[in-house]
Amino acid sequence: MSVIERAGLALLRRMDPERAHGLALGALRAGLVPLPAPVRDARLATELAGLSLANPVGLAAGFDKNAVALGPLARARFGFLEVGAATPHPQPGNPRPRLFRLPEDRAVINRFGFNNDGAEAIAQRLAARPRDAVIGLNLGANKDSPDRAADYAAVLRICGPHLDFATVNVSSPNTGGLRDLQGGAALAGLLEGVMAARAELARPVRIFLKVAPDLDADALAAIAGVACAAGVDAIVATNTTIAREHLKSANSVEAGGLSGAPLFEKSNRILAQLSRETGGEMPLIGVGGVDSGAAAYAKIRAGASAVQLYTGLSYQGLSLVGRINRDLAACLARDGFARVADAVGTGRDTWS
Protein backbone atom coordinates (compact mmCIF):
# COMPACT_ATOMS: atom_id res chain seq x y z
CA MET A 1 0.00 0.00 0.00
CA SER A 2 1.41 3.38 -1.01
CA VAL A 3 1.74 6.33 1.35
CA ILE A 4 -0.89 8.18 -0.68
CA GLU A 5 -3.36 5.31 -0.43
CA ARG A 6 -2.73 4.88 3.30
CA ALA A 7 -3.30 8.59 3.94
CA GLY A 8 -6.43 8.62 1.80
CA LEU A 9 -7.94 5.67 3.63
CA ALA A 10 -7.15 7.23 7.00
CA LEU A 11 -8.93 10.42 5.95
CA LEU A 12 -11.97 8.59 4.61
CA ARG A 13 -12.32 6.56 7.81
CA ARG A 14 -12.89 9.81 9.72
CA MET A 15 -15.99 10.57 7.63
CA ASP A 16 -19.50 9.21 7.47
CA PRO A 17 -19.13 5.92 5.52
CA GLU A 18 -21.56 6.74 2.73
CA ARG A 19 -20.07 10.20 2.19
CA ALA A 20 -16.59 8.68 2.23
CA HIS A 21 -17.60 6.16 -0.42
CA GLY A 22 -18.98 8.91 -2.64
CA LEU A 23 -15.74 10.89 -2.30
CA ALA A 24 -13.69 7.78 -3.08
CA LEU A 25 -15.67 7.21 -6.28
CA GLY A 26 -15.20 10.86 -7.22
CA ALA A 27 -11.45 10.64 -6.62
CA LEU A 28 -11.31 7.48 -8.71
CA ARG A 29 -13.09 9.20 -11.62
CA ALA A 30 -10.74 12.18 -11.33
CA GLY A 31 -7.65 9.99 -11.55
CA LEU A 32 -6.53 10.74 -8.00
CA VAL A 33 -6.48 7.14 -6.79
CA PRO A 34 -3.31 5.07 -7.41
CA LEU A 35 -4.19 2.00 -9.45
CA PRO A 36 -2.57 -1.42 -8.92
CA ALA A 37 0.23 -2.56 -11.19
CA PRO A 38 -0.57 -5.55 -13.41
CA VAL A 39 0.19 -9.02 -12.06
CA ARG A 40 1.47 -11.05 -14.99
CA ASP A 41 1.14 -14.73 -14.22
CA ALA A 42 -0.29 -17.23 -16.69
CA ARG A 43 -1.81 -19.23 -13.82
CA LEU A 44 -4.37 -16.47 -13.17
CA ALA A 45 -6.01 -16.45 -16.62
CA THR A 46 -9.27 -18.35 -16.42
CA GLU A 47 -12.79 -18.76 -17.78
CA LEU A 48 -16.12 -18.04 -16.09
CA ALA A 49 -19.25 -19.34 -17.82
CA GLY A 50 -17.56 -18.88 -21.18
CA LEU A 51 -16.16 -15.43 -20.36
CA SER A 52 -12.37 -15.11 -20.65
CA LEU A 53 -10.86 -13.40 -17.59
CA ALA A 54 -7.33 -12.10 -17.13
CA ASN A 55 -7.65 -13.12 -13.48
CA PRO A 56 -10.45 -14.49 -11.26
CA VAL A 57 -10.73 -11.47 -8.92
CA GLY A 58 -13.85 -9.43 -9.63
CA LEU A 59 -15.52 -6.35 -8.19
CA ALA A 60 -18.81 -7.13 -6.45
CA ALA A 61 -22.02 -5.20 -7.03
CA GLY A 62 -22.66 -2.19 -4.82
CA PHE A 63 -19.30 -0.47 -5.12
CA ASP A 64 -20.27 1.37 -8.31
CA LYS A 65 -24.05 1.28 -8.16
CA ASN A 66 -24.61 3.69 -11.04
CA ALA A 67 -21.76 2.71 -13.39
CA VAL A 68 -20.05 6.10 -13.03
CA ALA A 69 -16.45 4.86 -12.78
CA LEU A 70 -16.23 2.09 -15.36
CA GLY A 71 -13.05 3.36 -17.00
CA PRO A 72 -10.89 3.68 -13.87
CA LEU A 73 -12.24 0.42 -12.42
CA ALA A 74 -11.44 -1.39 -15.66
CA ARG A 75 -7.84 -0.20 -15.24
CA ALA A 76 -7.68 -1.35 -11.61
CA ARG A 77 -6.74 -4.92 -12.64
CA PHE A 78 -9.99 -6.63 -11.76
CA GLY A 79 -10.74 -9.69 -13.85
CA PHE A 80 -14.35 -8.55 -14.18
CA LEU A 81 -16.68 -5.85 -12.88
CA GLU A 82 -20.25 -5.98 -11.63
CA VAL A 83 -22.10 -2.68 -11.23
CA GLY A 84 -25.57 -1.91 -9.86
CA ALA A 85 -27.99 -3.00 -8.60
CA ALA A 86 -30.22 -1.28 -11.14
CA THR A 87 -34.01 -1.07 -10.98
CA PRO A 88 -36.36 -0.04 -13.81
CA HIS A 89 -37.07 3.34 -12.24
CA PRO A 90 -34.78 5.54 -10.11
CA GLN A 91 -35.29 5.26 -6.37
CA PRO A 92 -33.66 6.88 -3.34
CA GLY A 93 -33.38 3.74 -1.23
CA ASN A 94 -33.75 3.62 2.52
CA PRO A 95 -33.28 6.62 4.85
CA ARG A 96 -29.78 7.56 6.00
CA PRO A 97 -27.71 6.55 7.84
CA ARG A 98 -27.63 3.22 6.04
CA LEU A 99 -23.96 2.23 5.92
CA PHE A 100 -21.98 1.30 9.04
CA ARG A 101 -18.37 0.26 9.60
CA LEU A 102 -17.51 -2.59 11.96
CA PRO A 103 -13.72 -2.16 12.11
CA GLU A 104 -13.08 -4.62 14.92
CA ASP A 105 -14.76 -7.28 12.78
CA ARG A 106 -13.37 -6.14 9.39
CA ALA A 107 -16.97 -5.88 8.29
CA VAL A 108 -19.68 -3.51 7.09
CA ILE A 109 -23.46 -3.39 7.50
CA ASN A 110 -25.58 -1.74 4.83
CA ARG A 111 -29.29 -1.24 4.36
CA PHE A 112 -29.25 0.82 1.16
CA GLY A 113 -32.41 -0.63 -0.38
CA PHE A 114 -31.41 -0.56 -4.08
CA ASN A 115 -30.75 3.18 -4.28
CA ASN A 116 -29.84 3.92 -7.92
CA ASP A 117 -30.36 6.25 -10.88
CA GLY A 118 -32.60 3.81 -12.76
CA ALA A 119 -31.98 1.51 -15.71
CA GLU A 120 -32.17 4.15 -18.46
CA ALA A 121 -29.45 6.36 -16.94
CA ILE A 122 -27.25 3.37 -16.14
CA ALA A 123 -27.70 1.99 -19.67
CA GLN A 124 -26.40 5.27 -21.14
CA ARG A 125 -23.21 4.96 -19.08
CA LEU A 126 -22.81 1.29 -19.94
CA ALA A 127 -23.06 2.18 -23.62
CA ALA A 128 -19.76 4.06 -23.24
CA ARG A 129 -18.07 1.23 -21.34
CA PRO A 130 -14.50 0.07 -21.99
CA ARG A 131 -14.73 -2.71 -24.55
CA ASP A 132 -11.69 -4.59 -23.26
CA ALA A 133 -13.27 -5.27 -19.85
CA VAL A 134 -15.76 -7.94 -18.74
CA ILE A 135 -18.70 -6.02 -17.27
CA GLY A 136 -21.96 -7.14 -15.75
CA LEU A 137 -24.96 -5.60 -14.01
CA ASN A 138 -26.78 -6.60 -10.87
CA LEU A 139 -30.54 -6.62 -11.57
CA GLY A 140 -32.99 -5.44 -8.93
CA ALA A 141 -36.65 -4.57 -8.43
CA ASN A 142 -38.31 -1.33 -7.39
CA LYS A 143 -39.60 -1.31 -3.85
CA ASP A 144 -43.10 -0.16 -4.90
CA SER A 145 -43.33 -2.33 -8.02
CA PRO A 146 -46.63 -4.21 -8.51
CA ASP A 147 -44.69 -6.99 -10.26
CA ARG A 148 -41.17 -7.31 -8.93
CA ALA A 149 -40.42 -10.41 -10.99
CA ALA A 150 -41.10 -8.46 -14.18
CA ASP A 151 -38.70 -5.70 -13.08
CA TYR A 152 -35.69 -7.97 -13.57
CA ALA A 153 -36.59 -8.69 -17.17
CA ALA A 154 -37.30 -5.00 -17.75
CA VAL A 155 -33.82 -3.94 -16.57
CA LEU A 156 -32.22 -6.63 -18.72
CA ARG A 157 -34.07 -5.42 -21.82
CA ILE A 158 -32.86 -1.86 -21.22
CA CYS A 159 -29.25 -2.56 -20.23
CA GLY A 160 -28.60 -5.97 -21.79
CA PRO A 161 -27.16 -4.70 -25.10
CA HIS A 162 -24.17 -3.31 -23.17
CA LEU A 163 -23.46 -6.25 -20.85
CA ASP A 164 -21.40 -9.41 -20.75
CA PHE A 165 -23.43 -10.81 -17.87
CA ALA A 166 -26.36 -9.92 -15.63
CA THR A 167 -26.94 -11.09 -12.08
CA VAL A 168 -30.44 -11.73 -10.77
CA ASN A 169 -30.42 -10.43 -7.21
CA VAL A 170 -33.29 -11.86 -5.18
CA SER A 171 -31.17 -12.22 -2.05
CA SER A 172 -30.69 -8.66 -0.76
CA PRO A 173 -32.10 -8.37 2.77
CA ASN A 174 -32.75 -4.63 2.40
CA THR A 175 -35.92 -4.61 0.31
CA GLY A 176 -38.83 -6.06 2.23
CA GLY A 177 -40.13 -9.37 0.83
CA LEU A 178 -37.45 -9.61 -1.86
CA ARG A 179 -35.98 -12.84 -0.54
CA ASP A 180 -39.40 -14.47 -0.95
CA LEU A 181 -38.57 -14.59 -4.66
CA GLN A 182 -35.96 -17.27 -3.86
CA GLY A 183 -38.79 -19.78 -3.35
CA GLY A 184 -39.07 -22.53 -5.96
CA ALA A 185 -42.14 -21.53 -8.00
CA ALA A 186 -41.52 -17.79 -7.63
CA LEU A 187 -37.89 -18.13 -8.67
CA ALA A 188 -38.72 -20.36 -11.62
CA GLY A 189 -41.24 -17.84 -12.91
CA LEU A 190 -38.86 -14.93 -12.45
CA LEU A 191 -36.04 -16.71 -14.26
CA GLU A 192 -38.37 -17.69 -17.09
CA GLY A 193 -39.09 -14.00 -17.66
CA VAL A 194 -35.40 -13.08 -17.51
CA MET A 195 -34.49 -15.80 -19.99
CA ALA A 196 -37.23 -14.63 -22.35
CA ALA A 197 -35.82 -11.08 -22.15
CA ARG A 198 -32.33 -12.41 -22.87
CA ALA A 199 -33.62 -14.19 -25.98
CA GLU A 200 -34.71 -10.82 -27.35
CA LEU A 201 -31.19 -9.36 -27.16
CA ALA A 202 -28.98 -9.18 -30.23
CA ARG A 203 -25.86 -10.39 -28.37
CA PRO A 204 -25.53 -13.17 -25.78
CA VAL A 205 -25.56 -12.19 -22.10
CA ARG A 206 -24.72 -14.69 -19.38
CA ILE A 207 -27.27 -14.88 -16.58
CA PHE A 208 -26.05 -15.35 -13.01
CA LEU A 209 -28.13 -15.87 -9.86
CA LYS A 210 -27.07 -14.43 -6.49
CA VAL A 211 -28.18 -16.37 -3.42
CA ALA A 212 -28.41 -15.57 0.28
CA PRO A 213 -26.09 -17.11 2.87
CA ASP A 214 -28.96 -17.68 5.31
CA LEU A 215 -30.58 -20.60 3.47
CA ASP A 216 -30.82 -24.07 4.95
CA ALA A 217 -29.57 -27.10 3.03
CA ASP A 218 -32.98 -28.03 1.60
CA ALA A 219 -33.72 -24.51 0.37
CA LEU A 220 -30.29 -24.25 -1.20
CA ALA A 221 -30.71 -27.58 -2.97
CA ALA A 222 -34.07 -26.44 -4.32
CA ILE A 223 -32.60 -23.19 -5.63
CA ALA A 224 -29.75 -25.05 -7.29
CA GLY A 225 -32.27 -27.30 -9.01
CA VAL A 226 -34.34 -24.37 -10.26
CA ALA A 227 -31.23 -22.54 -11.47
CA CYS A 228 -29.98 -25.53 -13.42
CA ALA A 229 -33.39 -26.19 -14.96
CA ALA A 230 -33.72 -22.54 -16.01
CA GLY A 231 -30.35 -22.53 -17.75
CA VAL A 232 -28.63 -20.09 -15.39
CA ASP A 233 -24.96 -19.74 -16.36
CA ALA A 234 -23.47 -19.31 -12.86
CA ILE A 235 -24.45 -18.85 -9.21
CA VAL A 236 -23.02 -16.09 -7.01
CA ALA A 237 -22.56 -17.21 -3.40
CA THR A 238 -23.30 -15.21 -1.44
CA ASN A 239 -25.06 -11.95 -0.71
CA THR A 240 -24.88 -10.29 2.72
CA THR A 241 -26.22 -12.00 5.83
CA ILE A 242 -28.80 -10.98 8.41
CA ALA A 243 -27.08 -13.15 11.03
CA ARG A 244 -25.10 -11.52 13.83
CA GLU A 245 -22.69 -14.03 15.36
CA HIS A 246 -19.61 -13.33 17.48
CA LEU A 247 -19.28 -9.66 16.49
CA LYS A 248 -17.34 -7.13 18.53
CA SER A 249 -18.18 -3.76 16.98
CA ALA A 250 -20.77 -1.43 18.48
CA ASN A 251 -22.49 -1.08 15.09
CA SER A 252 -23.28 -4.80 15.02
CA VAL A 253 -26.75 -3.94 16.38
CA GLU A 254 -27.67 -2.09 13.17
CA ALA A 255 -30.23 -3.64 10.84
CA GLY A 256 -29.18 -4.58 7.32
CA GLY A 257 -26.89 -6.95 5.49
CA LEU A 258 -23.54 -7.83 7.05
CA SER A 259 -20.54 -8.27 4.72
CA GLY A 260 -16.83 -8.78 5.18
CA ALA A 261 -14.73 -11.21 7.21
CA PRO A 262 -17.56 -12.62 9.41
CA LEU A 263 -19.27 -13.90 6.26
CA PHE A 264 -16.25 -15.86 5.04
CA GLU A 265 -16.90 -19.29 6.52
CA LYS A 266 -20.68 -19.16 6.09
CA SER A 267 -20.38 -18.31 2.41
CA ASN A 268 -17.71 -20.98 1.91
CA ARG A 269 -20.06 -23.63 3.27
CA ILE A 270 -22.75 -22.46 0.83
CA LEU A 271 -20.21 -22.59 -2.01
CA ALA A 272 -19.18 -26.12 -1.16
CA GLN A 273 -22.77 -27.33 -0.92
CA LEU A 274 -23.65 -25.75 -4.27
CA SER A 275 -20.60 -27.40 -5.80
CA ARG A 276 -21.75 -30.75 -4.47
CA GLU A 277 -25.40 -30.19 -5.48
CA THR A 278 -24.44 -29.36 -9.07
CA GLY A 279 -21.70 -31.96 -9.36
CA GLY A 280 -19.17 -29.23 -9.98
CA GLU A 281 -20.82 -28.51 -13.34
CA MET A 282 -22.31 -25.10 -12.47
CA PRO A 283 -19.77 -22.25 -12.40
CA LEU A 284 -19.79 -20.55 -9.00
CA ILE A 285 -18.58 -17.12 -7.90
CA GLY A 286 -17.42 -16.80 -4.30
CA VAL A 287 -18.22 -13.62 -2.37
CA GLY A 288 -17.90 -12.83 1.32
CA GLY A 289 -14.73 -12.04 3.24
CA VAL A 290 -12.33 -11.99 0.29
CA ASP A 291 -9.60 -9.78 1.75
CA SER A 292 -6.42 -11.73 0.93
CA GLY A 293 -4.98 -14.15 -1.58
CA ALA A 294 -5.44 -16.96 0.93
CA ALA A 295 -9.15 -16.12 1.29
CA ALA A 296 -9.61 -16.07 -2.48
CA TYR A 297 -7.78 -19.39 -2.79
CA ALA A 298 -9.98 -20.95 -0.09
CA LYS A 299 -13.10 -19.97 -2.03
CA ILE A 300 -11.69 -21.39 -5.24
CA ARG A 301 -10.89 -24.66 -3.49
CA ALA A 302 -14.41 -24.66 -2.01
CA GLY A 303 -15.82 -24.61 -5.54
CA ALA A 304 -15.63 -21.06 -6.93
CA SER A 305 -14.39 -20.46 -10.47
CA ALA A 306 -13.92 -16.78 -9.59
CA VAL A 307 -14.36 -14.47 -6.61
CA GLN A 308 -15.64 -10.98 -5.93
CA LEU A 309 -14.82 -8.42 -3.26
CA TYR A 310 -16.09 -5.09 -1.98
CA THR A 311 -15.85 -4.71 1.81
CA GLY A 312 -12.13 -5.50 1.82
CA LEU A 313 -11.54 -2.50 -0.45
CA SER A 314 -12.98 -0.13 2.14
CA TYR A 315 -10.32 -1.22 4.64
CA GLN A 316 -7.36 -1.93 2.35
CA GLY A 317 -7.87 0.17 -0.79
CA LEU A 318 -7.56 -0.76 -4.45
CA SER A 319 -4.02 -2.05 -3.99
CA LEU A 320 -5.71 -5.08 -2.42
CA VAL A 321 -6.58 -6.31 -5.92
CA GLY A 322 -2.93 -6.66 -6.90
CA ARG A 323 -1.98 -8.26 -3.58
CA ILE A 324 -4.74 -10.85 -3.88
CA ASN A 325 -3.66 -11.76 -7.42
CA ARG A 326 0.03 -12.03 -6.48
CA ASP A 327 -0.71 -14.15 -3.42
CA LEU A 328 -3.23 -16.28 -5.27
CA ALA A 329 -0.66 -17.03 -7.97
CA ALA A 330 1.80 -18.02 -5.24
CA CYS A 331 -0.76 -20.36 -3.65
CA LEU A 332 -1.41 -22.04 -7.00
CA ALA A 333 2.31 -22.45 -7.66
CA ARG A 334 2.96 -23.81 -4.16
CA ASP A 335 0.33 -26.52 -4.59
CA GLY A 336 1.32 -27.42 -8.12
CA PHE A 337 -1.68 -26.03 -9.99
CA ALA A 338 -0.91 -24.72 -13.46
CA ARG A 339 -4.13 -22.70 -13.64
CA VAL A 340 -7.04 -21.55 -11.51
CA ALA A 341 -9.43 -24.10 -13.02
CA ASP A 342 -7.26 -26.96 -11.75
CA ALA A 343 -7.81 -25.86 -8.14
CA VAL A 344 -11.59 -25.34 -8.33
CA GLY A 345 -13.41 -27.57 -5.84
CA THR A 346 -10.32 -29.44 -4.66
CA GLY A 347 -11.06 -28.50 -1.04
CA ARG A 348 -14.85 -28.50 -0.97
CA ASP A 349 -15.07 -31.51 1.35
CA THR A 350 -13.43 -29.46 4.11
CA TRP A 351 -16.56 -27.23 4.18
CA SER A 352 -19.62 -29.04 5.44
Residues with catalytic function: 172
Inter-helix orientation angle 3-12/17-29, to 10°: 140
Dist CA 282 CA 231 (whole Å): 10
Ramachandran bin of 341, using left for φ above 0, alpha for ψ from -120 to 50, beta for the remaining angles: alpha
- Would you say 119 and 104 are in contact if contact means Cβ atoms under 8 Å apart? no
Instruction: Give the start-end residues of each E strand in 246-347.
Output: 257-260, 284-287, 306-309
Q: Classify residue 281 as exposed, middle or buried by CB count within 10 Å of its CB (0-12, 13-18, 19+).
A: exposed
Evaluate the CA torsion angle 177, 180, 185, 186 in order and state its sign. positive
> Which amino acid is it at 164?
D
